[in-house]
Amino acid sequence: MYNHSMNDQLLEELIVPRFLKYVCIDTESNRDVSETPSTQGQWELAKTLSEELSAMGLIDVKLTDHCYVIARLPATKGRENEPYIGFLAHLDTASDVCGCNVKPQYISNYNGEKIDLMYGLCLDPAKEPDLIEQKGKSIIHTDGTTLLGADNKAGIAEIMAAIEYLIANPQIEHGPIEIIFTPDEETGKGLPEFPLNEIKSTYCYTVDGGPIGEIESECFNAYKSDIEFHGKVIHVGHARGILANAALMASAFAVLLPRSESPEATDGYYGYYCPMQITGDLEKANLEIFIRDFEKDGIERRLAALDAFAKTVEAQFPGGKVIVKNHPQYYNMRVKIDENPDVLERLKKAVKNVGIEWRLKPIRGGTDGSRLTELGIPTPNIFTGGRNFHSRLEWVSVSEMCAACKVIIELISLKN
């Protein structure tokens, strides 16, 4: 273990300028586009990062045809034979809230009071206890017109700052390091076009979590269900006993989804159904549903329920047809990580070594680490310091970003 004497001021100087630069690049992804990347803005950030990595002196810097950034930092003398350790973060921001023209607000000495934002929104410590803990510290928040993009540009900035620090401090011994930045994580595609054959890491860590100390080694099993509704059309003036309204069929199906098993009604280890988008007209309509559960039997139960709901709607609308198409997105990484316990134990040790109390927390979602674990590279998740992801109330603690950077450096310097 290297004795990291870094202070937060030094780390702020490494992290904050990068983060403020990255969040101003519009990388909002589009889950309705099949190509990878789904948006052109992700190319701008990928090219920026590739240039910065090359300028820092990393080797094998590559930007693939599908916007994956890969770079490597060689081991220090005497540790060349250790396995590669990878660090991964995603380029895109979610499309749930606008990610264009982000105007980050940096507060160097937060006074602990309510922060007024645009559109009548506010960050209120009375409603967000974590904010109170930031009094006297630095935070960065949205102005209320967009999301901030800490998910996952905080992770990118922390990884880049850690590499920059290592290069500036060659006395810190480490094995070979691989950096990977990925497109379209927020679309739930699950690393399409991922260049697995080019990856050298034996194990990885995503830097894509929340509050300080949280580490994650399990996530949802995830499916996307596309439900098609085919109606029977006739002039509405002569519709009695004939018309099967596809738009109404889609609405009826959505209403059958149990409200007690929705995202807003569940937490912890409870799964859910979430209708994401509904479109259509009299003749044809479509409903997109995300289903999530930590256990495979829970997913199977929900998939079976969708089939049952389809039959119910067909019975309610004679002449109409409902087609359910299910697509797996990613699986719970817990099983594979349990088979490789050293990967998680190293992370726990690194967090503890830098003076932070770690706590395991299930991801109520997924990361690219979920898919990478499935592909054979165990990849737990590290906190970033962000809060209120995918919203106009998003903010990040700078001191916790510094803590995440320390954990990355400690992980890198740990000997096998």
pLDDT at 332 over 50: yes
Question: In degrees rounded to 5, what are phi and psi of residue 92?
Answer: -85, 160
Q: Which of 185, 208, 214, 374 is catalytic?
A: 185
Which amino acid is residue 323, in one-letter code?
Answer: I
pLDDT at residue 3, as a whole number: 46
Provide φ and ψ at 412, rounded to 5°. Answer: -65, -35
| Beta-carbon count within 10 A of 170 CB | 10
**Span 38-42, average pLDDT:** 97
DSSP string computed for 97-150: S--SS---EEESS--SS-EE-GGG-EE-TTT-HHHHTTTTS-EEE--SSS---H
**Span 282-312, pLDDT tens digits:** 999 999 999 999 999 999 999 999 999 999 9
Give pairs for 77-83: CB < 8 Å, separation 24+: 78/173, 79/173, 79/174, 79/175, 79/176, 79/415, 80/175, 80/176, 82/175, 82/176, 82/415, 82/416, 83/175, 83/176, 83/201, 83/202, 83/203, 83/416
Does position 5 have pLDDT exceeding 70, yes or no?
no
Kindly state the average pLDDT of the residues 201-205: 97
The sign of the torsion formed by the CA atoms of 35, 36, 38, 44 equals negative
Question: In the β-sheet with 272-280, what is the strand arrangement from edge to edge?
Answer: 272-280, 284-293, 221-230, 321-330
- pLDDT at position 1, please? 44
- pLDDT value at position 9? 84
Instruction: Give which of 248, 243, 216, 210 is closest to 229, Cα–Cα.
Output: 248
pLDDT at 314 exceeding the cut of 90? yes
Distance CA 123, CA 144 (A): 10
Percent of the chain with pLDDT over 70: 99
CA-nearest of 190, 204, 166 to 84 is: 204
Give the three-class secondary structure for 39. coil
Check if 92 is active-site: yes
Over 90: is that where the pLDDT of 6 sits? no
Predicted local distance difference test score (pLDDT) of residue 416: 75
Question: Does residue 65 have an active-site annotation?
Answer: no
Return the residue matching tokens 């580490």: 215
How high is the pLDDT of residue 358?
A: 97
Q: What are phi and psi of 143, to 5 degrees?
A: -90, 0
Is the bond preceding 416 in cis, omega lying within 30 degrees of 0? no
Q: Give the three-class secondary structure for 52.
A: helix
> Is the per-residue pLDDT at 4 higher than 80?
no
What's the average model confidence in pLDDT over 186-195? Answer: 90
Over range 13-32, report the average pLDDT.
96
Q: Determine the distance from the C-alpha atom of residue 284 to the mean position of all C-alpha atoms in its chain, rounded to a whole number.
A: 33
345: pLDDT strictly greater than 80: yes
Given a cut of 80, whether residue 15 has pLDDT beyond it is: yes
Residue 102 near residue 45, CB atoms below 8 Å: no
Give the H or E element holding residue 276. Answer: strand 272-280
| Active-site residue, from 12, 26, 92, 400 | 92
| pLDDT, tens digit (0-9, with 9 covering 90-100), for 216-268 | 999 999 999 999 999 999 999 999 999 999 999 999 999 999 999 999 999 99
Average pLDDT over residues 128-140: 95
Distance CA 132, CA 123 (A): 11
Residues 185, 73, 198: CA angle, nearest 5 degrees: 55
Which tens digit of pLDDT belongs to each residue from 51-83?
Answer: 999 999 999 999 999 999 999 999 999 999 999
Q: Which amino acid is at 23?
A: V
Amino acid at 216: E
User: What's the token pair of residue 162?
Assistant: 């850690």
Rounded to whole angstroms, how far apart are CA atoms 326 and 187?
16
Overall pTM > 0.85: yes
Specify the pairing of strand 139-141 against strand 395-397: antiparallel
